[in-house]
Amino acid sequence: MGVTTALEWLSSCSGCEIAILNIGEDLVELLTDHLDIVHAPVIMDHKYFGQCGDEGSHLEIPEAVVGLVSGGVANEEHLEVLEEMRKKCKVLIALGSCATQGGIPALMNGQNSAASFEAIYQSSSTDKGAELPNQGVPKLLERTYALDEKVKIDLMLPGCPPNPAHIAEVITALLEDREPELPTKSVCDTCPTKREGKGMVNTVKRYTENVEFDPEKPISEMRCLLEQGYLCMGPVTAAGCAKRGAPSCIDARVPCRGCFGSVMPKGNQMLDMMNALASNGIDFKSVVDRRSMLRFSGAHGNLRPKRSTAAKEE
Amino acid sequence: MGKVLQIQPVTRIEGHARISVHLNDEGNVEDAYMSLMSLRGFEKFIEGRPAEEVPRIVNRICGICPWMHHTASNKAVDGCFGVTPTPTGHKLRELLQVMAHINDKILHFFFLAAPDFVLGPDADYSVRNVIGVVKAAPELATQVVKMRQLGQMMIDRFAGKAIHPIAAVVGGFSKPMLEPERRELLKDTRTLLDFSEYALDFAKEYVFNKYMDVIGELGVINTGFLGTVDREDGSFRIYDGTQRLMRADGSYVDFKGEDYLDYLGEHVEPWGYGKMPYAKSWDEGFSLDLDAPKGIYRANTLARLNVCNQMSTPKAQAALEEFREAFGRPAQATLLYHYARLIELVYACERTIELLEWDGITGTDVRAKVTPGAGRGVGVVEAPRGTLIHDYTTDADGCIESANLIVGTTHNIGPMNMSVKQAATSLIKDGAYDQGILNKVEMAVRAYDP
């Protein structure tokens, strides 16, 4: 019998679950020999209210040693599932940036979410008179939360998606009863691009043309994208995305947008980046839509509806 | 007193859903619903974002089909900014979008759906899953895991990220393909093509032939279909083409993506967050009545095979001919979605090879000049789960002013509700139900791969 494990997903997209699959062939051995999956909606049929859906009114998840939860908390059902996972799992892991810092869905925290959700049912293609559904569907919370805003989390594994190698490392470390080895630095610290020192750049360009590089040459021959004048969130973003040497987006010759969240758990990627730009003599006001710098870390009160933050931001 | 069975969560699907079966005093089905339980609000929170950033935000709508949202969004932003991608940029996008279909089909058929067939619909829930398949058929399972991983890593190696991609950009693509990369991808795709033919043969013998009686009954409904076909000859297309809306009797109209509002509407019920698209242009309203549905069409694999005149690649065309010979056009049986999915797998491999063999694929002019500005763009692609529509309007700064999305899965919410009701009504009699019967009701949903 392996180590009992439960998986859940809340306000999420299933990218984290695909990242688990992307562990590849090693996953087969983990699943068959080392883990005993007791609950995981994406791959197995355990149900909340008994297998025939006729037992009790409180959702039930079996006890497990390890619990992995992806997605943030955006409605009442997410909260109920998360609390049940906390109650039943010895070690609870927040998997992916939605779970650790809110992720993309927490962009909704930057606006009046109640009005926005209603407006979705009044779109150009929707029948006139339609309203936000309200019968038997989980009520939406006033904003999207990271998991540690609601329950105690034992381990954070960020990334959008998280790196399959790190998921495997965390599981293996738990099986071997040791601390997992995970990156602690920033994307910049792990980026091989060429830095030539502070240059002539004083404003930030939009990414509407490709960066300058020679496709025949390795990433280490390409100049740093910030030095090329693009917004690249590398300095303020946690490392971990690199799979073949270079950070993933840099590998595709595209600037980083911060998908592993802030380097320090409670950091603020927007404020940190504005500081980083300013200290390099770059006018941060040239960044169109600065709030987008919080697109992966809008939970923990970082992103709020515009009226209340306008003064602070400007 | 009657009661309600809450099958929750619906499992081995890619989202959050619940099936509620309402039984009357005699234990017979009075009604049944499948409700989508989550709402995130992408259409609203992309407002104000620079449009060129949006293709790398909306990919988070779905971690299984992020390339579909990524490419549809790029097409929409091209439209907003009035830019035509370079020929190489255009084909690189198609290549990656088609390659992404390969993994998706392996994932759905073998990881999510196959346990019902390999272990049987009535097998205990603790073994009726992919781990059970690994134990019951280790050789097949090892091969499947290897092939899905190969497909995923081909994309990851070339484009930096397979999940939540960044390499398609407004105006084209972020980087060119080198000759050694092309050769490597070609070699790997040939391996996948071999596997796809094996997978189709395997499924014909051990799934479709074996479960023909179940296929003929479970979740069967009668509807129209929506898909995308080549503008010239009506061939099967998934990246670009004209949209085709077919009635249950096989007659159809073709329309341009940007005119979708004239053909499609979205109906809302208070019991689920998912909107239900329907054929507004049929002028008959919306009804899920099993005997007389109104406005109901289906999307996804079976729909695409039904609407196309033919497949443009030889092996997929041979498979389509055999399929049509057996089931007619349009084929209506819900479980045939699985069969159609595997024919699409063959097509996706063949089309990938075609694109990699195109002379211009290693061209270096991958991105056209882009100037942000005001405009409207509608980007349409065929996602694994159905016709995907991204419709954006930008302001003078090239930031999103408004957005409307019709996501692939949602086309089938109405039909899934019909299939669930059909399955539940025919399987649950006089209060007799068990986990195997309720799993069969879920199989009617799983076929649609929501």
Q: Which residue of A has its CA nearest to B434?
A: A52
Q: Within 13 Å, how many C-alpha atoms sit on residue A150's CB side? A: 31
pLDDT in tens, B302-320: 999 999 999 999 999 999 9
Residue B263 pLDDT > 70: yes
Q: Which residue out of B19, B44, B104, B124 would a mutagenesis test of the A interface target, given it has the greatest number of A Cβ atoms within 10 Å?
A: B44
> Stretch B370-391: mean pLDDT, rounded?
98
Phi, psi of B308 (to 5 degrees): -75, 150
Distance from CA of B208 to the nearest CA of A (A): 22
Chain A contact set for B428 (CB, 8 A): none
Q: Which of B404, B407, B402, B398 is nearest to B83 (CA)?
A: B398
pLDDT of residue A204: 95
Are A252 and B16 inside 8 Å of each other by CB?
no
Do the chains contact at A124 and B271, CB–CB below 8 Å?
no
Amino acid present at B119: L
From chain A, pick out residues whose CB is under 8 angstroms from the CB of B9. 41, 47-48
Q: How close does chain A come to B55, measured CA to CA in Å?
A: 12
Reference B246, options B306, B288, B293, B320; nearest CA is B306
* Closest residue on chain A to B441 (Cα): A52
The shortest C-alpha distance from B240 to chain A (Å) reads 22
Q: Please list, in sequence order, all residues whose beta carbon lies within 8 angstroms of the beta carbon of residue B235, skipping any fewer than 6 positions away.
A: B229, B308, B309, B310, B311, B312
**Is the pLDDT at B24 greater than 80, yes or no?**
yes
C-beta of residue A276 within 8 angstroms of C-beta of residue A176: no
Nearest Cα residue to B46 out of B393, B349, B326: B393
pLDDT in tens, chain A (314 residues): 799 999 999 999 999 999 999 999 899 899 989 999 999 999 999 999 999 999 988 999 999 999 999 999 999 999 999 999 999 999 999 999 999 999 999 999 999 999 999 999 999 999 999 999 999 999 999 999 999 999 999 999 999 999 999 999 999 999 999 999 999 999 999 999 999 986 689 999 999 999 999 999 999 999 999 999 999 999 999 999 999 999 999 999 999 999 999 999 889 999 999 999 999 899 999 999 999 999 999 999 999 998 644 444 43
On whether the CB atoms of residues B52 and B170 are closer than 8 A, the answer is yes
Q: What is the reported pLDDT for A314?
A: 38
B171-219, pLDDT tens digit by residue?
A: 999 999 999 999 999 999 999 999 999 999 999 999 999 999 999 999 9
Kindly report, residue by residue over B125-139, the tens digit of the pLDDT: 999 999 999 989 998
Predicted confidence (pLDDT) at residue B74 exceeds the cutoff of 90: yes
Instruction: Give me B238's structure tokens.
Output: 């998934």
Cβ neighbours of A268 (radius 10 Å): 19
Q: Per-domain residue ranges for chain A?
A: 3-175, 183-314
Closest chain B residue to the Cα of A255, Cα to Cα: B166
The runs of H, that is alpha helices, within B160-298 are: 179-203, 212-217, 260-263
The CA angle A249-A253-A259, to the nearest 5 degrees, is 15
What would the mean pLDDT of B39-46 be, rounded to a whole number? 97
Of the candidates B9, B270, B369, the beta carbon closest to that of A135 is on B270
Distance set, CA B149 to CA B106, B136, B345 (Å): 10, 21, 15
Residue B433: pLDDT over 70: yes
What is the four-CA torsion angle of B108, B113, B118, B119, rounded to 10 degrees?
140
CA distance A273 to A281: 12
Say if CB B264 and CB B406 are below 8 A apart: yes
Which of A110, A131, A257 is facing B56, going by the closest CB pair?
A257
User: Who has greater pLDDT, B15 or A71?
Assistant: A71
Cβ contacts of A288 on chain B, cutoff 8 Å: 50, 397, 399
- Chain B residues with CB inside 8 Å of A253's CB? 174-175
Tokens 């929707």, residue located: A126
On the question of pLDDT at B153 being above 70, the answer is yes
* Concatenated DSSP letters of chain A: --EEEEEEESB--SHHHHHHHTTTHHHHHIIIIIEEEEE-TTT----TT-TTS-S-SS-----EEEEEEESBEEEHHHHHHHHHHHHHEEEEEEESHHHHH-TGGGGGGGS-HHHHHHHHTTSTTBPTT-----SSSPPEEEEEE-GGGTS--SEEE--SSPPHHHHHHHHHHHHTTS------SBTGGG--SB---S-S--S-B-S-SPPP--TTS-GGGSB-TTTTTB---GGGBBS---SBSB-HHHHTT-----TT-BSSTT--HHHHHHHHHHHTT--GGGSSSGGGGGTT--TTTTS--HHHHHHHH-
Considering the entire predicted model, what is its pTM? 0.97
Query: What mean pLDDT comes out for the span B277-286?
Result: 98
Which ipTM was obtained for this model?
A: 0.97
Look up residue B123 and give its amino acid: A
Q: Which two tokens stand for residue A11?
A: 């306000």
> For residue A120, which residues of chain B lie inside 8 Å, CB to CB?
39, 41, 43-44
Task: Tell me the nearest-neighbour CA distance from B372 into chain A, angstroms.
Answer: 8
Contacts of B292 by beta carbon, 8 Å cutoff, 6+ apart: none
Pick the CATH number of A3-175 from 3.40.50.1820, 1.25.40.20, 3.40.50.700, 3.40.50.2000: 3.40.50.700
pLDDT at A266: 84
A292 chain-B contacts, CB cut-off 8 A: 49-50, 53
CA A251/CA A102 separation, integer angstroms? 25
Interchain contact, B404 vs A123, CB within 8 Å: yes
Q: How far apart are CA A203 and CA B178, in angstroms?
A: 33
Q: In what order do the strands lie in the sheet with B3-7?
A: B3-7, B17-23, B29-36
- Give the C-alpha separation, A80 to A66, whole Å: 18
How far off is chain B from A9, nearest CA to CA, in Å? 9
Please, are residues B181 and B155 in contact by the beta-carbon 8 Å criterion?
no
For range B344-353, the mean pLDDT:
98
